[in-house]
Structure 1
Amino acid sequence: MGYALIGSLAVLLVFWSSAIRNAIISEPLLALGLGVLAGPVLGVLDIADADVSMFTFEASRLLLAISLMAVALRFPLAAYRAVGRPVAVLLTAALLGMTLVSSGLAWLVLGLPLSLAVLLGACVAPTDPVLAASIVSGGPAERELPARLRQIISAESGGNDGLAFPLVVVVLAATGAGTWGERTVEALWGVGGAILVGVVVGALAGWAVRAALRREDVDEGSLLIFALVLAVAALGIGALLRTDDVLAVFVTGLAYNAVIKDFARVSEQKLDDSLSRYLLLPLFVLLGLELPWRAWLDLGWPLFAFVLGVLLLRRLPVVLALRPALAMSARDVVFLGWFGPIGVSALFYVTFSEHEGVRDPRLWAAGSLVVVASTVVHGITATPARRRYAGAAQARGGGGAGQRRDR
């Protein structure tokens, strides 16, 4: 039954793809709604006896890997280097600021112990690359947003998912899941090892593809599949070496991008479309099925106040405060500050924390409601905000077609 529901939704998305891209309802929101309808509302699917947490962990991990490969290949590497300054600010000061704000809200509003509050804040801090893809990729986004802004959002969403790993890992020690020394070594090797794995695997893969292209041994379809397989391979190698495997995938994609240059980028950019429309459907349907409604009600108004605070305060004030360092226009900073969606990466880090020994049910209850709220709010506001941005750019006489080219 689950396969039938997910498959049917995918077929409908194929037929109505253009309309959906221009509507206020995003693909993740449709999949989430289907899961809620099929589970809690109609009772068509029952997952009460399944190991849902483990499946959510593995599914979110795999989807993150594919998404990060898509992000790494979305633009030429030179385009990412050109936005290095704002991205560096977002990956350092902004990521820490978002963690502190979210942690403070969890402690003050939700009343969690400080260690658990900081862990929750680290889990929901990174910008999700899967939900961000539905905002910055596709025809409408390319027409309505300048390439530079989309490059900044893409690069940040790719980088901070991996860089949240050391934050989460170190904070786990404060919750009693491991010692400070063990977790610190794990965090340091996680980042350093991921960079090493990514550079080596990505460069080797790129050289192999260039050699195959020169011999005309591959076609566009093969290259698309190869990008997916490369993401899975990097994820697996990173995990075997006990590194930050999510970051390893992103670095692999960047290294691969640097080597292949424009040899294969046209076909591999199709990965964005495939990801945002189809591959995320099972995970968001599953999320709709497993939402902890009773836990939400038991936590009461503090939980909903916490979620509202996260949506309004976690990112926008932090990014606005960093505007001088970002060196961006006010319009760009506001758009960037609002669209930092929380999604698959938060699900991954919450379930990762659970499997590392943090069993407090409030972690999943709060994290899942934040993801749901972000999926709904950012999904509904994406299209109107892009159109408003494009209209303001035209009114000011800027933002022409030449500025929106990715190359």
Structure 2
Amino acid sequence: EFEKFLLLPAAGPHDERIFPQGSVSGPTQENLADETPEAPRGNVEVPKESFVGRVKDMVKLYRFLHHPGSRVTTVTGPRGIGKTELVLQTLRFSRERREFHDGYYMASVHHIPPSDKHLLVEKLAQDCGVGSGGAATSAQLSMDQLLEKVLASQATARSVILLDGCDAWAREPSAKAFLLDLATQLTRRCESLRVVLTLSNEEDLPGLVSLCPHRCELGQMPFKDVALLFLRHTRRPLDPRELQGVSSSLDPVTALAAHPVVLHLAGHPGATVFTAAQLLEESLDLVRRERWFTSVAKSTREYWGQHQYILMEWWKANYDRAASKEALKGQPDGTFLLRPSSKANCFACDVVVHGGQFLPLLVTRQPDRRFYLHPPREQAWSSSEIRLGGRDYNSLEELVDRNRTYLMYPAP
């Protein structure tokens, strides 16, 4: 595109005609709109989080998308390391250049039970724009019929499909076989389609080695990138005294990169965003509350590697509601505490919300080992005030993933 423009000096001349009348042929004002290519279809959106670093990983993934030898790519790395954000940023870069002009599609399968293959295919069909007949219509179609609609829509299309969050499907043998078969059918029946899968452990999909030689594995971010990400997500500017003990000759990013809180984040972007969001006011700063922030950084980072984190350090086995409420007094929104409940197979969860209000919730553990979060029946709550109530979650991890600023930070 840059070849279409001529840069002039700041002083001009800006009013003179550069080329003689009629010497340059090209689109006129009348037909310019007709020649502008239509934006690719799809449901891929730009991540809300500020994207920092990962330039080399973006270039690697971008090259894989255009490699003629393989059309399936896996992006692997620990939970919260930024796999989805990396793929979405790469696809945005590609979409702005209209390289896959038939569409960019994303199907998030994090919370679809591995036993429900029909639901996965139905979700894929809806996200690819061929399941618009409504839930009742989609339910009436068989899984094979829905899959055939997807394959027909992508048969000659030059497009990209992202299957995001394949971890649970990769761990269960029959679900893994189905996922491999799905990726195989998509690439064999659709000659120009590219498929990207994200999962936490590349060893979960050994069958993809022959189907997908391209793997993009994400690791820790450099400390300076973590510091920059931290600064972008704080809710107020850092005070210079909060960086005391670090050389004053360093710029803020370099100085913060050497701070104990950032060091305890260990290059983990998910933990960085959550920890930075705790800088709410001057009374909660990196100097007077450094020990607490360090604990939050460490425990938050450890959480991302856990599948069941209910017995971690914020579990208070001997607390009742009064003790819990006292412990949470004065803490920022999102601070929570898990304690025993008198109900069988349940845990009490107390969380600070909406400017310091105390909200009791109930976490139930079902025989299928899933966790569900419910507000107590007598508790008045508003979905605009707390984004937890009103729905079931397959796991506590899902609850945190879907409600990023709540039920995240352990009580100090």
Report the TM-score, using the length of structure 2 for normalisation.
Answer: 0.29
Name the one with the larger strand percent. 2
Larger radius of gyration: 2
More helix by share: 1
Q: What's the TM-score once normalised by structure 1's chain length? A: 0.29
